[in-house]
Amino acid sequence: MVLEKVVEILRNYKDEQDLEVTMASTFEELELDSLDTVELVMEIEEAFDTSIEMDGELQTIGDVVTLIEKAIA
Protein backbone atom coordinates (compact mmCIF):
# COMPACT_ATOMS: atom_id res chain seq x y z
CA MET A 1 0.00 0.00 0.00
CA VAL A 2 2.15 2.74 -1.34
CA LEU A 3 -0.44 5.46 -0.81
CA GLU A 4 -0.83 4.66 2.89
CA LYS A 5 2.91 4.86 3.46
CA VAL A 6 3.18 8.07 1.44
CA VAL A 7 0.36 9.61 3.46
CA GLU A 8 2.12 8.63 6.69
CA ILE A 9 5.38 10.22 5.50
CA LEU A 10 3.50 13.33 4.43
CA ARG A 11 1.70 13.66 7.75
CA ASN A 12 4.98 13.31 9.62
CA TYR A 13 6.69 15.77 7.29
CA LYS A 14 4.00 18.37 7.89
CA ASP A 15 3.52 17.32 11.50
CA GLU A 16 -0.24 17.18 10.96
CA GLN A 17 -1.55 13.74 11.83
CA ASP A 18 -5.09 14.37 10.57
CA LEU A 19 -4.02 15.89 7.25
CA GLU A 20 -6.41 14.78 4.51
CA VAL A 21 -4.50 13.40 1.54
CA THR A 22 -5.83 11.65 -1.54
CA MET A 23 -4.26 10.61 -4.84
CA ALA A 24 -5.64 13.80 -6.33
CA SER A 25 -4.17 16.13 -3.69
CA THR A 26 -1.72 18.52 -5.28
CA PHE A 27 1.52 19.65 -3.65
CA GLU A 28 0.19 23.16 -3.94
CA GLU A 29 -3.02 22.31 -2.03
CA LEU A 30 -0.89 20.73 0.66
CA GLU A 31 1.10 23.98 0.83
CA LEU A 32 4.32 22.32 -0.29
CA ASP A 33 6.63 24.36 -2.48
CA SER A 34 9.21 23.01 -4.92
CA LEU A 35 11.86 22.69 -2.21
CA ASP A 36 9.47 20.75 0.04
CA THR A 37 8.63 18.51 -2.90
CA VAL A 38 12.29 17.58 -3.40
CA GLU A 39 12.73 16.85 0.34
CA LEU A 40 9.57 14.83 0.46
CA VAL A 41 10.21 12.78 -2.65
CA MET A 42 13.64 11.88 -1.30
CA GLU A 43 12.14 10.79 2.03
CA ILE A 44 9.61 8.68 0.18
CA GLU A 45 12.33 7.15 -1.98
CA GLU A 46 14.37 6.27 1.08
CA ALA A 47 11.35 4.71 2.76
CA PHE A 48 10.78 2.44 -0.25
CA ASP A 49 14.49 1.95 -0.89
CA THR A 50 14.10 2.98 -4.50
CA SER A 51 14.44 6.07 -6.65
CA ILE A 52 12.15 7.75 -9.11
CA GLU A 53 12.83 10.18 -11.92
CA MET A 54 12.03 13.72 -10.94
CA ASP A 55 12.44 14.94 -14.50
CA GLY A 56 8.78 15.40 -15.27
CA GLU A 57 6.29 17.54 -13.49
CA LEU A 58 5.16 16.08 -10.19
CA GLN A 59 1.83 17.75 -9.47
CA THR A 60 -0.13 15.37 -7.30
CA ILE A 61 0.48 12.78 -4.62
CA GLY A 62 -0.92 10.31 -7.15
CA ASP A 63 1.97 11.14 -9.53
CA VAL A 64 4.47 10.14 -6.85
CA VAL A 65 2.54 7.03 -5.82
CA THR A 66 2.31 5.84 -9.43
CA LEU A 67 6.05 6.31 -9.99
CA ILE A 68 6.93 4.51 -6.76
CA GLU A 69 4.60 1.64 -7.65
CA LYS A 70 6.30 1.32 -11.03
CA ALA A 71 9.77 1.49 -9.47
CA ILE A 72 9.17 -1.27 -6.95
CA ALA A 73 7.06 -3.50 -9.22
Partner 1 sequence: MIKTPLCDLLNIEFPILQGGMAWISDAQLAAAVSNAGGLGIISSMNADENWLRSEIQKAKSLTDKPFGVNVMLMNPHVDKIAQVLIDEKVPVVTTGAGNPGKFMKLWIEAGIKVIPVVPSTGLARFSERAGATAVIAEGGESGGHVGEMSTMPLIPQVCDVVSIPVIAAGGIGDGRGIAAALMLGAVGVQLGTRFLVAHETNIHENYKDKIIKAKDIDTTLSGRSLGHPVRSLKTTFSKDFIKAESDPTTPPEVLEEYGRGALRIAAQEGDSQKGCFMAGQIAGMIKEKQSVKEIILTLADETETVLKGGLQWVK
Hey, how many other C-beta atoms are within 10 angstroms of the C-beta on 58?
Answer: 20
Tell me, yes or no, if 33 is annotated catalytic: yes
Q: Count Cα atoms within 13 angstroms, Cβ side, for 34.
A: 4
- Minimum Å gap between C-beta 69 and partner 1 is 20
Taking CB under 8 A as the criterion, the residue among 18, 35, 49, 73 binding partner 1 is 35
Residue 73 found at the interface with partner 1 (CB under 8 A) = no
What is the per-residue binding string for partner 1 in 44-63, x denoting contact by CB under 8 A? -------x-xxx--------
DSSP 60: B
Max CA distance (Å), the chain:
31
How many residues sit close enough to partner 1 to count as binding (CB under 8 A)? 8
**Rounded CA separation 64/55 (Å):** 12
Binding site for partner 1 (CB under 8 A): 35, 38-39, 42, 51, 53-55
